[in-house]
Amino acid sequence: MHVAKVGEATPSFVLACADARDLGRQSVCSDDYAGRWAILIFYPRDFSFVCPTELTSFSARWRDFHQRGCELLGISVDPVELHREWLRTPPAEGGLGPLQFPLASDPDGATARAYGVWVEQKQVCTRGLFIIDPDGILQYAVIHNLNVGRSASEALRVVDALQTGALCPASWTSTDGTIDAERALQPGRILGHYRIRQKLGSGTFGTAFAAWDLRLERMVALKVLKRSVHESRDAVLAEARAAAKVNHPYVCTVYAVEEEDGLPLIAMEYLDGRTLSQAIAEGLPRAAAQDLARQIATGLAAAHAQQVVHGDLKPANVIVTGEGTARILDFGLAGRQDTSATARAGASQDVRPTVPNDAATKIVEIEETLAYDRSASGEAGGIRGTPAYMSPEQAAGRRPTPASDVFAFGLMLFEMLTGRMALSDTSLMTLLARLQNQDLGPRLAPEVDASYRDLLAALLARDAARRPAMSEVRDRMATLAAAPA
């Protein structure tokens, strides 16, 4: 028999019940609590000594539980008829009086067994208390000796703590602050099965650490995603899992996408090298620039073949190893390809970008990833990506596509060949307007070697439909890299 465990879906049940608030109610089932928090209070017998003190104390705090979206249910082996008698009998005569929650009958102990609280020798259930979240996942379980009653105040404290979704220290109460796990990630701390070694850097989506995997005994790069990321946690992790399917020599390998201590994280291959932006700043020889560009195009083509879009391609997201190999980082964090009819129809529309008012007027760091997903009115739309490497369609507020990566690659190729950024505007709105209204190809192409001009102009076409597919770019880059200097 499957026994309920914290962190797992709870066993379903259908039980006869007595409810002093609704005398016509005949039964209760686990589905009745879908979408709400539920507390199951297992107790041994009606008309006993400790049980009435517990049940009446929980009933007295019923309104407090209700305000938290939490329902209560008492469960014992006694038949429904005895439950009703106990509820009708005044406390002065050994009864309960009316309770603010139902009492269910589990005569054969099947539900008690499913929750691991059945006492075979006495044929009753012991004092088990279980807190179940709105998704039916068991979040808390405590089992008492038959002689010791449970505290309604403690159950409320735990519900409050669970509902914060954060880390709550010992003796925490609702008036206390929670532990900021993001700030607490210092060298030596253990997150799940990873021991933090050092902080590598931080950005819009999260903070990267070098960490030791205690299970597999190897170094990993750990990207811990911020709680304030632009989409829901599940959506971000789903995109990261999709990106993890890309297995290629020029793409950083993703080992795991999981959640530890309430923090979503991505464990990746630890790469010893420098970023492409650092390599460009230090000066890239022509041959090295050509070869790295070829490798990046090859890795992108492999990702696009699996319908995975980078969405935030830039030199800072490429590591160049000591052997001169390019490895693309952070696939999927900025967006996944959307092939829906709605997205295709929207691609031809002029969508006004929505950014916060302060970002629209101040000088911003154009090499930093932006993630503005909603306007001040709450309507859909926004800017996602790095302005200095953003495509016109992203600047117009649309989701990135493979063609967006092609445009970003064109901006990177220009920088690799010339040693300077293609777009260096410091005003965010000026840069966004420029991307949407100007055709950059004709202006930038003459500044690179003749052999790359036609390709660069195609990569930087303002119309996404005119840009070549990444597989074509890969083949062209291979030909150019192989040509004699």
Q: Tell me the pLDDT of the chain averaged across its residues.
A: 87
Given a cut of 90, whether residue 454 has pLDDT beyond it is yes
| pLDDT level of residue 364 (50, 70, 90 thresholds) | very low
Cβ neighbours of 257 (radius 10 Å): 22
Question: Among 70-74, 243-247, 292-296, 444-448, whose mean pLDDT is lowest?
Answer: 243-247
CATH of 14-164, one of 3.30.413.10, 1.10.3720.10, 3.40.30.10, 1.10.150.120: 3.40.30.10
Retrieve residue 351's tokens. 């969508």
How confident is the model over 475-484, as a mean pLDDT?
A: 89
| pLDDT level of residue 232 (50, 70, 90 thresholds) | low
Is the CB of residue 390 less than 8 Å from the CB of residue 421?
A: no
**What is residue 370's predicted lDDT score, i.e. its pLDDT?**
66
Given a cut of 90, whether residue 205 has pLDDT beyond it is no
How confident is the model over 106-126, as a mean pLDDT?
A: 97
**What is residue 178's predicted lDDT score, i.e. its pLDDT?**
84
Q: Model confidence over 10-63: pLDDT tens digits?
A: 999 999 999 999 999 999 999 999 999 999 999 999 999 999 999 999 999 999
CATH class belonging to 274-482: mainly alpha
Q: Where are the domains of the chain?
A: 14-164, 181-269, 274-482
Question: Among 391-405, 419-433, 470-484, whose mean pLDDT is lowest?
Answer: 419-433
CATH of 181-269, one of 3.30.450.40, 3.40.50.300, 3.40.30.10, 3.30.200.20: 3.30.200.20
**What is residue 127's predicted lDDT score, i.e. its pLDDT?**
97
> What is the C-alpha separation between 187 and 211, in angstroms, rounded?
9
Please return the burial class of 35, using the count of CB atoms within 10 Å of its CB with bins 0-12, 13-18 and 19+. exposed
**What is residue 376's predicted lDDT score, i.e. its pLDDT?**
38
Question: Among 85-89, 155-159, 170-174, 422-426, whose mean pLDDT is lowest?
Answer: 422-426
Q: Which of 117-126, 197-206, 347-356, 377-386 has the highest mean pLDDT?
A: 117-126
Given a cut of 60, whether residue 354 has pLDDT beyond it is no
**What is residue 344's predicted lDDT score, i.e. its pLDDT?**
31
Question: Among 6-20, 265-279, 288-302, 429-443, whose mean pLDDT is lowest?
Answer: 429-443
Question: Among 5-9, 216-220, 330-334, 387-391, whose mean pLDDT is lowest?
Answer: 330-334
Please return the burial class of 297, using the count of CB atoms within 10 Å of its CB with bins 0-12, 13-18 and 19+. buried
**What is residue 165's predicted lDDT score, i.e. its pLDDT?**
84
**Which residue numbers are catalytic?**
51
Supply the pTM of this predicted model: 0.70
DSSP state of 179: B
**Region of 416 on the Ramachandran plot (φ > 0 left; ψ -120 to 50 alpha; else beta):** alpha
